Amino acid sequence: MAKRAVLAYSGGLDTSVAVAWLKEELGVEVVAVAVDVGQGGDLEAIKARAIEAGAMDAVVIEGKERYANEILLPALYANALYEGRYPLVSSLSRPLIVDLLVKEARKYGADSLAHGCTGKGNDQVRFEVATRALAPDLEILAPVRSWGMTREESIEYAIKHGVKVPVTKDRLYSIDENIWGRAIECGILEDPWNSPPEDVWEMTSVKETSPTSLTIGFEKGVPVSLDGKAMDFLTLLGHINEKVGSFGFGRVDMVENRRVGIKSRETYEAPGALALIRAHSDLEGLTLERDLSHEKARLEPKWAELAYDGLWFSPLMDSLRAFMESSQKFVTGDVRLDLSPGTCTVSGRRSPVSLYDYGLATYDAQDSFRHQDAEGFVRIWGLGVETWSRKQVGNQ
């Protein structure tokens, strides 16, 4: 039986009620831990709310830098998009949160880890599988999944136990946000036919209308400069979110397949992530040798699926991350993105280690391709098909 739990705390209704509920109903002491992955909000106020709700202690941990460098960069190397569209906004923050929670659990001598996920989503899978990978000895508590209260009942529970009910927009939607983007679900969005109301968008409203362009510089797959100005990845991501978002680019509206067998309608906005993936994969077009490029493209969806399915800490994911990283050795150069309302398009790329050879590609006078080699190559390439045609199809 758990005695002391470290709780992944967001400051929202569910995790606040969870603090009180774990204490009152299970007799578990709670250390509330909020990890700052760029979700916004006043984290000091959140800390105070956890204490008010009955936590024995509350901690806020700065996680943005580690998140950017240890998780988002590998995701960019892999051009990671689940089902070809979703840049894994929520999926990617969970492994870092769990890693930090486990460290706090050790510090506080906790015997369990608690989260506020419901039983219908993917986040429970990510929290729990990651915990079992990193600290199989810790018990897992999922109060929201086990208490069986409706939203109204948990509000009542909160009021009865002196837990402040936060008044935020997530009373209309379920929102999860970090520096890689925002995920907005529930409410009116649950009917896949309903257009997303304008108020779901925060990062992607058109504020700029005159077309402009941005040049992103990459070094070994890492974005290192913006319009010629060197900056670290986290700073660059902030700028790019802002700039690309102000052109209204970066929205995704899709029905996706959850790990737990449910189809769900999701809306996302991830201006920086989607622009960077676009630019990065374009530069790979210029710098990756053909076989590597094709094999990488075949493995990218698998990388995204493992991240989505909560298998960040797993042997296959370890190996895929190593593959993706080693593929980045020559992904160095610049990509120009043209921005206009609602669009973000690559309009140019260059690299000091480009595999694009003008002499080979051109049809003008500088042509250096050995045309005479083509004839024999093509004949042998087609030999098997020709033999099949003559012998089996009957063409002579």
Nearer to ligand ARG, 204 or 327 (CB): 204
For 178, the token pair is 């970090």
Nearer to ligand ARG, 12 or 54 (CB): 12
Least distance CB 115 / ligand ARG (angstroms)? 11
Which residues are bridge partners to 251 per DSSP? 269
Nearer to ligand ARG, 18 or 226 (CB): 18
Nearer to ligand ARG, 79 or 122 (CB): 122
Q: What is the arrangement of strands in the sheet containing 174-178, beginning at the earlier edge strand?
A: 174-178, 181-185, 263-269, 251-257
Least distance CB 92 / ligand ARG (angstroms)? 9
Which residues are bridge partners to 343 per DSSP? 340
Q: How far is CA 56 from CA 19, 48, 116, in A?
A: 10, 11, 18
Least distance CB 190 / ligand ARG (angstroms)? 12
Q: Judge whether 346 and 249 are in contact, CB under 8 Å.
A: no
Chain centroid, CA 160 distance in Å: 37
Least distance CB 266 / ligand ARG (angstroms)? 5
> Of the candidates 240, 264, 258, which has an alpha carbon nearest to the alpha carbon of residue 250?
240
Nearer to ligand ARG, 118 or 146 (CB): 118
> Of the candidates 220, 176, 204, 216, which has an alpha carbon nearest to the alpha carbon of residue 331?
220
Q: Active-site residue numbers?
A: 14, 94, 123, 174
Q: Residue written as tokens 């969005």? A: 189
Contact positions vs ligand ARG (CB under 6 A) = 90-91, 122-123, 174-176, 183, 185, 266
Least distance CB 62 / ligand ARG (angstroms)? 21
Cα–Cα distance for residue pair 348/337, rounded to 1 Å: 7
Q: How far is CA 19 from CA 76, 152, 162, in A?
A: 36, 17, 11
